[in-house]
Amino acid sequence: MSDRLRFGIFMAPFHRAGENPTLAIERDLQLIEHLDRIGWDEAWIGEHHSAGTEIIASPEIFIAAAAQRTRHIKLGTGVISVAYHNPYMIAERAVQLDHMTRGRFMLGCGPGSLPTDAIMLGLDPTETRPLLEEGMEVIMQLLTSDEPVTSQTKMWNLVDARLHLRQQTIVAMLPRNLGRQQAAECVGGPGVGDHQAHSISCPSAMRTPRTPPLRTRISSTRAYVNTSPPAARMRGRMVSAMRHAPPTG
């Protein structure tokens, strides 16, 4: 891996209240295009619903549009507020984006930072972190196992759920002190610190349960993302991404 300095951007994004949202979002997309042209490595897009200045409600939709305008820059959710969504739909959209971006998509997940977002959805803001933990357990099972998943909380009810497609490459970013067990299992070892943000890579396998997985090789990337609250900030840790390698012999 090259030792060159790598560059990434976190885009909430912030815009002045009252600014034309159509023009603001177009300017955000043009900025991602510019960063791709000058060789930046990553862009992370936030999810917000009630602040008025952070106007992207779906980072996945934004990333799908940005992917059509770019060729090299990796695109990540910074972050999807898991407590506000059905985890099955998060995993399904992540896999679709993985294919649409040709492996440039990175899945960043968090509890959500704005209490007003949670309140509008009938949640006490103190409930978002426990729901994040439960949701990430479901997402990881869906991404890493062929077994059906059943899970029920006040926000979702899954019965024998399994993904429609399998991913090529998804790098999943978890907040600190969350998902330690799943992260260690997914990376294949216990080297995940209790007090560090957890970076995990999910096995790639474009397959059905009856099809043997493709052989894989490990490549590396470095991720930078700020999530809220500050205690959940990523530390630029190295993560391993499992990528497709065609069978040989």
Tell me what pLDDT residue 228 has: 35
pLDDT bracket for residue 193 (50, 70, 90): very low
Q: Which amino acid is it at 207? A: R
- Cα dihedral 10, 24, 68, 202, rounded to 10, equals 30
Confidence (pTM): 0.72
Least confident span in 46-50, 63-67, 112-116, 197-201: 197-201
Contact predicate 20/236, CB 8 Å: no
Residue whose entry in the numeric block shows the structure tokens 């679709």? 96
For the purposes of burial, counting CB atoms within 10 Å of the CB of 166, is it exposed (0-12), middle (13-18) or buried (19 or more)?
Answer: buried
Domains and their CATH numbers in the chain: 8-244 (3.20.20.30)
Contact predicate 7/40, CB 8 Å: yes
Contact predicate 223/173, CB 8 Å: yes
- DSSP result, 161-182: E--SS--S--EEEE-TTSSHHH
pLDDT exceeding 70 applies to what percent of the chain? 67
**Closest CA relative to residue 64, chosen from 29, 21, 25, 100:** 100
CA distances from 93 to 24, 88, 166, 184 (A): 24, 9, 11, 24
Instruction: Please state the rounded mean pLDDT for residues 129-139.
Output: 96
- Measured CA to CA, the distance from residue 75 to residue 236 in angstroms comes to 15
